[in-house]
Amino acid sequence: MKDKIRKYFDRLVILPDEEWREMEQCFELIEFKKGDILLDANTHCNFIGFVNNGIIRFYEIKKGNEKVTAFWFPNEFLSNYRSFLSGEKSNHYIEALSDGGYWKLKKENLFKLYDDFPVIDRLGRKMAEQLYLMITKRVDNLLRETPEERYHNLIDKNSRLLQEVPQYMIASYLGVSAETLSRIKKRIHTK
């Protein structure tokens, strides 16, 4: 069951069996239903997780409407990593868009693992580095491409999103209004 987590980690460091056994015990499967709030706004995020199954979104409410920052699918890292690191409260909600489950690792346990096992500390470095790379790519995407280019990128890389997530959430994720996304689609299909 937890094999996929280990696979994720194995791409980052060589994690010996002993360390993995220690680590493995700290993961707890949390099951959720569509619509469940996995992390409330105004809360400190004290865990990281890995999606086992289901779709999850990460969003905030700004001036009355929702701004979607991320979607998460199986085998992806799940957290408000910013709140996790800084200790500040999250502005964002984490919400299940379908039934599913995720593997939860609490901050206190991870920090204990960091202290006890240098290789896990290194794993933490690698994770932070990966997340840094991911966010820089996202920034590039948002700042240097037009909404239409962003839409093309999205359907190339993640067609599942389009099938399983309401379009207005995708619009928000792309940084445009629902109406604009609708017009973008029209523009593309009449070409």
Measured between alpha carbons, how far is 28 from 2 in angstroms, rounded to an integer? 10
Interface pattern 113-152 for DNA (x via CB under 7 A)? ---------------------------------xxx----
| Residue 167 found at the interface with DNA (CB under 7 A) | yes
| Residue 2 found at the interface with DNA (CB under 7 A) | no
| Residue 109 found at the interface with DNA (CB under 7 A) | no
The helix (H) or strand (E) run that includes residue 62 is strand 56-62
Measured between alpha carbons, how far is 178 from 128 in angstroms, rounded to an integer? 33
| Residue 111 found at the interface with a second copy (CB under 8 A) | no
| Residue 182 found at the interface with DNA (CB under 7 A) | yes
- The candidate with the shortest Cα–Cα distance to 38, out of 95, 113, 112, 116, is 95
| Residue 82 found at the interface with a second copy (CB under 8 A) | yes
Whichever of 96 and 181 has its CB closer to a second copy, that residue is: 181
With vertex at residue 12, the alpha carbon angle to CA 161 and CA 68, rounded to the nearest 5 degrees, is 25
| Residue 25 found at the interface with DNA (CB under 7 A) | no
Interface pattern 124-153 for a second copy (x via CB under 8 A)? xx--xx-xxx-xx-xx--xxx---------
Residues that bind DNA (CB under 7 A): 146-148, 166-168, 175-183, 185-186
Residues that bind a second copy (CB under 8 A): 62, 67, 81-82, 85-86, 114, 118, 121-122, 124-125, 128-129, 131-133, 135-136, 138-139, 142-144, 175
